[in-house]
Amino acid sequence: MALGLILCFSAVLASCNQRSTKPTSSDKPELSGVYYLIRHAEKDRSNSSNKDPELIQKGLERSQRWAQYFDSIPLSGVYSTAYRRTLQTALPTATNKALSPIIYQANALLDDSFYVNAQSGHWLIVGHSDTTPYWANALLKTDSLSDIPDSINSRLYRIDLRFESPQFTISNIE
């Protein structure tokens, strides 16, 4: 019996000394890309119970302007949530760049696959009034940005992590 306890205790000690295979935040590579974060364009507000509305004409036009804005930027990829309004905002740019949008969960953009796929390069991230500043804060490692007012669909956050100190600008693209 004593031998059994010793073997059991030894197994517990050995498992405690093994490194976990699940990556921790310190295991993630440093991001060194340029990230453009925008909110979806103007959505249909005619039915307040519709949780997944499409864009209105003004929003479809804004999506085309976003595509024009990003025309000269060498995007490596386009991230979008699966909502109709975000996909409709992202698709003109993605199509112009011959890219397929990468779908992400609104609450889980910066997962392990993001750190692998988007470590460098130029990336467009289409989100929502609350998630866009949230992810910008996460990329900047700050908590200074608040939700985008509901009436603003023209805001662009540009975060450049290629330098020791992140370069950050907010623009309105009309």
The reply to whether 16 falls in a domain is: no
Q: What is the pLDDT of residue 28?
A: 75
Least confident of 13-27, 71-85, 108-122, 158-172: 13-27
Higher pLDDT, 100 or 1: 100
Is the per-residue pLDDT at 8 higher than 90? no
The reply to whether 21 falls in a domain is: no
The reply to whether 48 falls in a domain is: yes
Domain region containing 160 = 28-172
Q: What is the pTM of this model?
A: 0.84
Domain with 159 in it: what CATH number?
3.40.50.1240
- Mean pLDDT, to the nearest integer, of 138-156? 97
Yes or no: say if 77 and 118 are a contact pair by the CB < 8 Å rule. yes
Q: What percent of the chain has pLDDT over 90?
A: 83
| Closest residue by Cα to residue 55 from 102, 105, 95, 91 | 91
The first and second tokens of residue 88, run together, are 């409709």
The reply to whether 7 falls in a domain is: no
Task: Note the pLDDT tens digit of each residue in 70-107.
Answer: 999 999 999 999 999 999 999 999 999 999 999 999 99
Whole-number Cα distances in Å, 38 to 1, 12, 20, 50, 113 = 65, 49, 36, 22, 20
The reply to whether 112 falls in a domain is: yes
How many domains does one find in the chain?
A: 1
The reply to whether 11 falls in a domain is: no
Whole-number Cα distances in Å, 23 to 26, 29, 119, 120, 139 = 8, 10, 16, 20, 18
Q: What is the pLDDT of residue 26?
A: 53
- Mean pLDDT, to the nearest integer, of 62-77? 98
Q: What is the pLDDT of residue 27?
A: 67
